[in-house]
A and B are shown apart, each in its own frame.
Chain A
Amino acid sequence: MKTSNQTSNSNLHTNFSTTISNFITNLFFGLIFLCLAILTLPSFAADKYCQKPGPGATGGKTYDIHIFGNTYKDANAKTQMAQGLTDLFRSLAVGDRVKVYNHNATGYNLSMDQCVPGCPEVSFMDSMLGGSCSTEVAKRDRKTFNQRFAQAAMSDINRDGSSYDIFKSIQDLNDVYKGERTDHVVAAAISMIPDGINPTDPNAFTKFYVTTVPNLNIALEFPPVCTVGTSPNSEVLKFWKEVFALKHVKFDFKPCNKE
């Protein structure tokens, strides 16, 4: 027969066990939540700066930046590319979404998808009501964003002089959209210089035209594209205008930083 002490001890023991059990269960779910929170932290960080596009708003645009790093062999071309990307980068506004696509010989990958960090300008009343954006945190995030952008932009640049097919690169850009319309700003960092061609030699371009264009089999349907770091040489522009005219492609070589 059980005594009252035994009974109370028993109850105590049962309560203790339940408490421990609850604690462990809570700890388990808490840890899962923490893990999920850690895992989803960047997207939280990305999303928290995103702004919806609206009239008069400075941010809120989405930039699709396609980097064809392997088409930049020449040092001058690389400089042009860096300059162009810097200009583009400067034009980004807080809250703009930036998607960086890296293209190479085997295809492409989305190496960055993030909104430009920064606190939006708010009224005094809004700040009094307790705005959620911390300027310090935003500054820190912007620094990280800058680093990531630079890393994504320059990661696939042609360092070993490997060959490339300029037409394939153009076709790859086309294949990202496959003829679909988009309201994104599409920027392409591509040299547009055919591999092995001196962009200042008109005869070289003519020969390249004669040997490749009649056998060229590409189907292109782009959204409006602006260019970054594209060779400004007249021969290059002439060549591509002729090719795109033949293929009935609208591609006007408008530089992204000259809107």
Chain B
Amino acid sequence: MKRKLLNLLLPVMTALINCNVCLDSYAQDKANTGGNVNADTQFRELYPKALSGEPNAMFSLGKIYLEGTSSAGKDSAKGMDYIQRASGAGNVAATKYMIDAYERSGSERALELCQKLQRAGDKYCDKKMETLVERSIPKTVSTSNCKKLNDLYNSGNQGPVVKSEVTACVLQGLSTTIPVDQAMSNLRVQAADDPKAFAKLMGFMLKAGTPEWDPLFVEENLTKAGLTFKDKEVKELFLKNDISFDGCRKMDRLRRENLRQRPSVCRMAAKSGDEDAALYVGDAYLTGKDYFPEDAAEASFYIKEASLSKNPIISSEAFVLLMDLYKKQGKFYEHFSTVKHEIKVNSLNKTAAFASFGFEADYLAKNHSGMSLDDILDLVATADNKDIDQSIKSRIGRTVDEVIKDRGRLMRPIEKDSMLAYKDRLLSQKDKDEIEAARLAMLSQVTAVKAETPRAEVPRVADSDKKPSEKESTFFDKFLNRSAQ
């Protein structure tokens, strides 16, 4: 029995031992062949060649290091070192590789290498040159930078960016690569759709006393170029060139060359956020003074700008102007809603709002038939305020009768009663006495006329020709009256 068991176990144990040996061997093989065998083989072939300075080998080895495909692992510093050396030894592929790498990292070395390739007649960089130039161009205009730009321009890089920068250098007197007239012309062309170029152009066109001075051109084209008057860069330029209310004020308004330029300076100051300028321009447009044409729409724009001021003096002055403007434009609803708002928020402009309420009174007297009853009731109710002048209240109170007479039975009794109640509150005793006196005078006049004239037979008229009050009430009328009550 034991022997049988041993006979069975022995082969199993032998197999297990063999298997263990196999596993060890497998593990060793795996350890030995870890990493990319091909890359390792390539590495081994390339390494001695690279050490001996062979450019192609240095480039290929550098890539292996960068990609980390071999057992040597990834080593970017070594990789770039080999590729750099390959490029230095004249390997064009390595140079292109480095250009791409530098381009990705935003390094200026990309441009240097591209210039080197260009000099050698290689067209690899032709498409990317413009971008590289743009990236590497210094933001400040200096003698050394202009020299660098001149070199780029003269070596055939005459794309928009280089052209623009060379133009800036010429206009600042740091280069003579192109004539000044041409530089100015270049700048105007570039400025048409390039905000940066326009900003540069502004620097010249806002400088008083120079031949290029033309604020009106700046005003007309600034937004077209993609800038706004409130851009930080624009505001800085305005400040530098006295485009402010002060600058506008100081300019001689009667001088011929200023007739168009001065309003432009004032407008630009206002648009850039100078509230004093906005108030002045709004007023000027409203009244048509200082060579500003009378233009309610323009006035409205600037007055609204000024009315948003945090300076209470400016905002209250602007409010008065705004009320005048609405009045002038016949914008009853804008005027009325502004007044209501000021009353509601109890602002500093409330007094001015009450003072301007005469416009509402006049408008009601003239246009009540076209107004909605709700608006009329709202107006009458608003007028019932102790701060509104009595003369205004009286005008409104006197109009109430006309409204009731005009609307007649279209008004519900409750509305009529409400109107009459307000009328009673709005009219002073003097007004009431005057009205009563007038009514009595009218009555006596009518009585006298009736007494003098013989009574004529009233002609029979068709029911349809009768006035509504004269019609005999039908069942339908009775029903309507009942439901209205």
Contact indicator A198/B48 (Cβ below 8 Å): no
Interface size grouping (class) on chain B? 10 to 19
From B32, B37, B72, give the contact of A214 (CB < 8 A). Answer: B72
Q: Pick the contact of B40 from A197, A210, A246 — CB < 8 Å?
A: A210
Tell me the bound Cα distance from A206 to B34 in angstroms. 11
Interface residue? A18 (CB, 8 A):
no
Among A197, A198, A207, the residue within 8 A (CB) of B71 is A207
Judge if B28 is at the interface, Cβ distance under 8 Å. yes
A210 touches B44 (CB 8 A): yes
Q: Is the CB of B43 within 8 A of A210?
A: yes
Given A211-B71, A214-B72, A245-B48, A206–B41 Cβ distance below 8 Å? yes
Contact B47 A203 (CB under 8 A): no
Is the Cβ of B28 less than 8 Å from the Cβ of A198? yes
Q: Are A207 and B34 in contact (CB under 8 A)?
A: yes
A209 within 8 A of B: yes
Q: Mark A198-216, 1 if CB is under 8 A from B, else 0.
A: 1001011011011101100
Binary contact track B457-471/A, C-beta < 8 Å → 1, others 0: 000000000000000
| A210 contacts B70, C-beta separation under 8 Å | yes
A window 104-136: CB within 8 A of B: none
Contact A206 B72, CB 8 Å, known A201-B32, A214-B47, A242-B48: no
Tell me if B48 and A246 are in contact (CB < 8 A).
yes
A204 to B37, CA, bound (A): 9
Contact status of A246 and B41, CB under 8 A, knowing A210-B70, A211-B71: no
- A204 proximity list for chain B (CB < 8 A): 32-33
Is B203 interfacial (CB-CB < 8 Å)? no
Does B48 contact A207, Cβ atoms closer than 8 Å?
A: no
Q: Complex Cα distance A245/B181, Å?
A: 68
Chain A residue numbers with a CB within 8 Å of B72 are 210-211, 214
Q: Which of A209-229 contact B (CB under 8 A)?
A: 209-211, 213-214
Q: Is the CB of B32 within 8 A of A203?
A: yes
How many whole Å from A178's CB to the nearest CB in chain B? 25
Structural contact, A210 and B48, CB atoms closer than 8 A: no
Say whether A203 contacts B37, CB under 8 Å: yes
CB-defined contacts of B47 to chain A, threshold 8 Å: 209-210, 213-214, 246
Question: Which residues from B are CB-within-8-Å of A246?
Answer: 47-48, 51
Q: Beta-carbon contacts of B27-63 to A below 8 Å, as 1s and 0s?
A: 0110011110100110110011001000000000000
Question: Are A203 and B48 in contact (CB-based, < 8 A)?
Answer: no
A98 to B143, CA, bound (A): 79
Distance between Cα atoms of A168 and B66 in the complex (Å): 30
Which residues of chain B are within 8 angstroms of A201 by Cβ–Cβ distance? 29, 32
Min distance, Cβ A200 to any Cβ of chain B, angstroms: 11
Q: Are B51 and A206 in contact (CB under 8 A)?
A: no
Residues on A with C-beta less than 8 A from B51 are 246
Q: Give the nearest-CB partner of A202 in chain B.
A: B41
CB of B168 to closest CB in A, whole Å: 50
**Chain B proximity of A31: nearest CB distance (Å):** 64
When distances are taken between beta carbons in the complex, the residues of chain B under 8 Å from A213 are 47
Closest to B73 in A: A211
Residue in B closest to A197 when the chains form the complex, CB atoms: B32
> For B29, B33, B44, B72, which residue has the most chain A Cβ atoms within 10 angstroms?
B44
Residue of A nearest to B48 (CB): A246
Query: Complex Cα distance A242/B48, Å?
Result: 8
- How far is the CB of B34 from the nearest CB of chain A, in Å? 7
Residue of B nearest to A215 (CB): B72
Residue of B nearest to A207 (CB): B71
What chain A residues lie within 8 Å of B34 (beta carbons)? 207
In the complex, A210→B40 CA distance in Å? 6
A207 and B35: CB pair below 8 A? yes
Select B44's contact among A197, A198, A209, beta carbons within 8 Å. A209
Residues of A within 8 A of B29 (CB): 201
**Which residues of A from 223 to 250 have beta carbons under 8 Å from B?**
242, 245-246
Q: Cβ of B32 and Cβ of A198 under 8 Å apart? A: yes
Write the nearest CB–CB distance from A199 to chain B, whole angstroms. Answer: 12
Seed contacts A198-B32, A206-B43, A246-B48; 4 additional CB < 8 Å A-B pairs = A198-B28, A207-B33, A210-B40, A210-B72
Question: Chain B: residues with CB nearer than 8 A to chain A?
Answer: 28-29, 32-35, 37, 40-41, 43-44, 47-48, 51, 70-72
18 contacts between A and B (CB under 8 A): A198-B28, A198-B32, A204-B33, A206-B40, A206-B44, A207-B32, A207-B33, A207-B34, A207-B35, A207-B40, A209-B40, A209-B44, A210-B71, A211-B71, A211-B72, A214-B72, A242-B44, A246-B48
Kindly list the 5 A-B residue pairs having the minimum CB-CB distance in the complex, ordered from nearest: A204-B32, A206-B40, A210-B71, A207-B71, A210-B40
